[in-house]
Amino acid sequence: MDIITKTEKIIKDVLAENNYEEENVVLSVSSRPEFGQFQYNGAMGLAKKYKTNPREVAQKIVDELNKYEIFENINIAGPGFINISYSKKYLTEYLTEISKDVSENVKKYPKKKIFLDYGGANVAKALHVGHLRTANIGEALKRLASLVGNEVISDVHLGDIGRQSGMVIYQLREEHPEWVFFDENYEGEYPTEITITNADLERIYPLASTKAKENDEIMEEVRKITAELDKGKKSYVALWNIIKEISIKNIKNMYTKINAKFDLWEGETDSYPYIDEMLEILKNAKCLEESQGALVCDVKLDTDKAEIPPLVVIKTDGTTLYATRELATILSRKQRFNPDEIWYIVDSRQGMYFEQVFRTSYKSNLVDKNMKFEFIGVGTMNGKDGKPFKTRDGGVMKLESLLNEIKEETSKYVQDSNMEESEKKDISDKVAVAALKYADLLPNVEKDYIFDISKFCSLEGKTGPYILYSVVRMKSLLAKSNMSDYKMYDIYSQTEKELITKILEMPIRIDTAFRNKTLSEITEYIYELDSLYNKFYAENRILTEQDESKKQTWLFITNLTYKVNKLLLDTLAIDVPDRM
C-alpha cells in the first residue's frame, strides 16, 4: 500500500478510537516544509462538528500518532494543523520497497470497467492536430485509469461515414466516370482495389469540399450520394470500403507515431447493426417524436438555465446522422462490454451534443442510470496568432508536417557523430514526439493553447526535451556507475530530503490527476521532480564520491527518481531514448 493511503488509514483509525466520525481523511503536501513533510488539516472541521477546541482535537490525534514508529516530529501549527514527518528508518524501508516496483507508490481504486473513446479521426480527411490532441489526452487518461487499478478498453471511433464520403465519391466519379462503381447497369462483383493513394485522398477531399460549398447543385449531388451510401447502395459501399482501407492504414500509421494504441478500431458504421434495436428502444420509451419530418428526442429539463434543443435522431430523408450512430454505438458497447463508465475525449465544441446524447440515453433507458458517461472536452491547439494551428503557407497543419517542423528544432540535441544514422533518427523521433506530447498535456485539457514550437522544443523549462534530457542523464549515470545494487543508508542533505518528499507526494498527485482528469498534474509533477533531481545532481559528485554509503545512497535515489519518471512518462505515452 502506498504511504499516503497507509497514513490516512492510520489517522482514520485514530479518529475512530477517539469516537470522531470522519468519512474523508486527506493528507496533503505540507505548505510549510520546515514543519513537516505532510499535513493533516481535519482537526478544525472536527472541532466544529463536535463543538470543542481544535487544538485539543489536534493534540489528541497527535498523542495517538506518536505511538506509531513510522512517524517523527509530529507537531501542531496555528489553530490545529498537524504536521507529519516520517522516521528515517521507515523512509528507508518504504523507498526500498517501492524501488522494486514504483507502481506501489500509487493509490489504487476499486476496479471498474472504463471504456474510452478518443482519437476520432475522420476517414478520407487529412489527420489534423485536433485529432492528435484528443489522441494524446485519451491515451494518457486510459493509462492513468489503468495505473490506479481500473480495467480499460479504448476505441478510436473513426468518422468513417458522413458528408465527406459523399464528397470523395462525387469527386472520384468526376475523375473516373468509367469505373464500374458508377455504372448503374453493372451486375458483377465490384473490385476490391483502386489505383488511388492516401495522397490522392488528401487532394480530393478539400477539392470536392470547396466545389460543393461554391455550388448548390454539387452540394445536392453530394447529399444524394451520402444518403445512398447510408442506405447501403452496393456500388458505393464497395467503393467506400476501399477508400476506408487506404485511409485507415494512414491513420493507424499516424496514431502509432504518437503511441496511441487502441483496443478497438471501430467506426461509426460498425454501429449499423444496432440502429434498429436502438430506435425500437427509444420508440418504446416514448422518446421519439416527429418534428418537421425528422425524428427527434426532447431532452430539455426544467432545471436547465440555457435552452437545450432536442436531439435529431433520424433525418427528414430517413437517413442516419452522427447522433444516430452515436446512440447505436452506445447500445453496442453496452451489449458487448457492459462498461461501468464511458469517457469521451473529444473537441470541447461537441459538449452540447454529448449532453443531448447522454440525456437521450438515460431518458430512453438505453443504458441504466448507474452507467456513467463522462465528456472530457479538449481545447484547440492554436498557432501564435491565436488561430487554429496552420502550416507556414496557411494550410491545415497535418501531424506529419508538424512532426517534421518539430524535428528541425530538436535534431540539434542529437549531435554525437559516433552514432549510427538509424539511432540518430530514432532519438530525434522520440525527442520530437516527447516535445509535442508534453506540450499537449501540460495545459489544462479544456483550454485552448498556443503551440510555440521553439518554446516547446527548448532544453529549458517545462518541455519534453528538458524532461528527456534529465531522465537520460539519470540513466547514463547509473550505467557509468557499473553497479546494479545500491542501498539507501541515510539522508545527507536538505535537497535530498526535498527530493524524497517529492517522491512520497506522487500518490497524492496521481490521485488528483485521476479524480479531476487533469494530466497537467502529472506533467507539472514530473517537472518539479526533475528540477529537484537536477539540483541534487549539481550539488554532488556522485561517481567520484569516496564515502561508499553516500555514493550508494545517491545512486539509489537516482535510480528511484529514474523509475518514477519512467512510470509516469509511460503513463503519458512518452518514450525515453537510451541516450541523447
381 binds ligand ARG (CB under 6 A): no
User: What is the distance between the alpha carbons of residues 537 and 46, in angstroms, rounded to a whole number?
Assistant: 43
Closest contact distance (angstroms) between CB of 346 and ligand ARG is 4
Q: Using the minimum distance from each CB to ligand ARG, give the nearer residue, 122 or 259.
A: 122
Please identify, among the stretches 211-219, 344-352, 446-454, 483-491, the one whose residues bind ligand ARG according to the rule CB under 6 A: 344-352
Tally Cβ neighbours within 10 Å of residue 375.
19
116 binds ligand ARG (CB under 6 A): no
Q: Cβ contacts of residue 446 below 8 Å, gap of 6+?
A: 348, 376, 377, 378, 379
Q: Using the minimum distance from each CB to ligand ARG, give the nearer residue, 3 or 140.
A: 140
127 binds ligand ARG (CB under 6 A): no
Residue 291 three-state SS:
strand
Please identify, among the stretches 116-124, 376-384, 450-458, 498-506, the one whose residues bind ligand ARG according to the rule CB under 6 A: 116-124
Please identify, among the stretches 12-20, 117-125, 221-229, 363-371, the one whose residues bind ligand ARG according to the rule CB under 6 A: 117-125
User: What is the distance between the alpha carbons of residues 307 and 356, in angstroms, rounded to a whole number?
Assistant: 11
Q: Quick one: which of 2, 8, 117, 409 contacts ligand ARG (CB under 6 A)?
A: 117
Q: Using the minimum distance from each CB to ligand ARG, give the nearer residue, 448 or 570.
A: 448
User: What is the distance between the alpha carbons of residues 6 and 11, in angstroms, rounded to a whole number?
Assistant: 9
CA-CA-CA-CA torsion sign (506, 118, 398, 447): negative
267 binds ligand ARG (CB under 6 A): no
Closest contact distance (angstroms) between CB of 167 and ligand ARG is 15
Q: Using the minimum distance from each CB to ligand ARG, give the nearer residue, 255 or 344.
A: 344
Q: Quick one: which of 120, 166, 339, 507 contacts ligand ARG (CB under 6 A)?
A: 120
Closest contact distance (angstroms) between CB of 373 and ligand ARG is 11
Q: Using the minimum distance from each CB to ligand ARG, give the nearer residue, 159 or 577.
A: 159
Give me the torsion for CA of 449, 450, 451, 456, rounded to 10°. Answer: -90
Closest contact distance (angstroms) between CB of 427 and ligand ARG is 33
Q: Using the minimum distance from each CB to ligand ARG, give the nearer residue, 221 or 326.
A: 326
Residues 294-333 that bind ligand ARG (CB under 6 A): 326
Question: How many residues bind ligand ARG, per CB under 6 A?
Answer: 9
Q: Using the minimum distance from each CB to ligand ARG, give the nearer residue, 131 or 407.
A: 131
Q: Are 362 and 355 in contact (CB under 8 A)?
A: no
139 binds ligand ARG (CB under 6 A): no
Closest contact distance (angstroms) between CB of 334 and ligand ARG is 14
Q: Are 535 and 495 in contact (CB under 8 A)?
A: yes
Closest contact distance (angstroms) between CB of 253 and ligand ARG is 18
122 binds ligand ARG (CB under 6 A): yes
Q: Using the minimum distance from each CB to ligand ARG, give the nearer residue, 267 or 464.
A: 267
Q: Using the minimum distance from each CB to ligand ARG, give the nearer residue, 115 or 554.
A: 115
Q: Are 75 and 32 in contact (CB under 8 A)?
A: no
Q: Using the minimum distance from each CB to ligand ARG, give the nearer residue, 117 or 270.
A: 117
User: What is the distance between the alpha carbons of residues 83 and 31, in angstroms, rounded to a whole number?
Assistant: 10
Residue closest to ligand ARG (Cβ) = 120
Tally Cβ neighbours within 10 Å of residue 512.
15
Residue 416 three-state SS:
coil
Closest contact distance (angstroms) between CB of 328 and ligand ARG is 11
Q: Cβ contacts of residue 492 below 8 Å, gap of 6+?
A: 550, 553
Please identify, among the stretches 44-52, 80-88, 342-350, 444-452, the one whose residues bind ligand ARG according to the rule CB under 6 A: 342-350
Q: Using the minimum distance from each CB to ligand ARG, give the nearer residue, 344 or 556.
A: 344
Q: Using the minimum distance from each CB to ligand ARG, give the nearer residue, 90 or 373.
A: 373
CA-CA-CA-CA torsion sign (479, 480, 484, 487): negative
Burial 335-345 (b: 16+ CB within 10 A, else e): eeeebebbbbb
- Specify the amino acid at residue 535: K
- Distance of CA 554 to CAs 367, 470, 491, 545, 568, Å? 54, 16, 9, 10, 21
Sheet containing 341-347: give its strands across. Answer: 151-155, 113-117, 341-347, 372-378
Closest contact distance (angstroms) between CB of 168 and ligand ARG is 15
Q: Are 485 and 559 in contact (CB under 8 A)?
A: no
Q: Are 154 and 142 in contact (CB under 8 A)?
A: yes
DSSP characters over 83-114: EEEE-HHHHHHHHHHHHH-GGGGS------EE
157 binds ligand ARG (CB under 6 A): yes
Closest contact distance (angstroms) between CB of 325 and ligand ARG is 8
Closest contact distance (angstroms) between CB of 376 and ligand ARG is 11
Position of cell 540513466?
475
Q: Cβ contacts of residue 240 below 8 Å, gap of 6+?
A: 161, 165, 169, 229
Q: Using the minimum distance from each CB to ligand ARG, give the nearer residue, 130 or 507.
A: 130
Q: Are 466 and 530 in contact (CB under 8 A)?
A: yes
Q: Using the minimum distance from each CB to ligand ARG, give the nearer residue, 264 or 459.
A: 264
159 binds ligand ARG (CB under 6 A): yes
Which residue blocks in 19-87 are alpha helix, DSSP H? 43-49, 54-65
475 binds ligand ARG (CB under 6 A): no
Please identify, among the stretches 115-123, 239-247, 363-371, 400-408, the one whose residues bind ligand ARG according to the rule CB under 6 A: 115-123
346 binds ligand ARG (CB under 6 A): yes
For residue 309, count CB atoms less than 10 angstroms from its CB and return exposed for 0-12, middle for 13-18, buried for 19 or more.
exposed
Closest contact distance (angstroms) between CB of 118 and ligand ARG is 8
Closest contact distance (angstroms) between CB of 115 and ligand ARG is 11
344 binds ligand ARG (CB under 6 A): yes
Binding site for ligand ARG (CB under 6 A): 117, 120, 122, 157, 159, 326, 344, 346-347
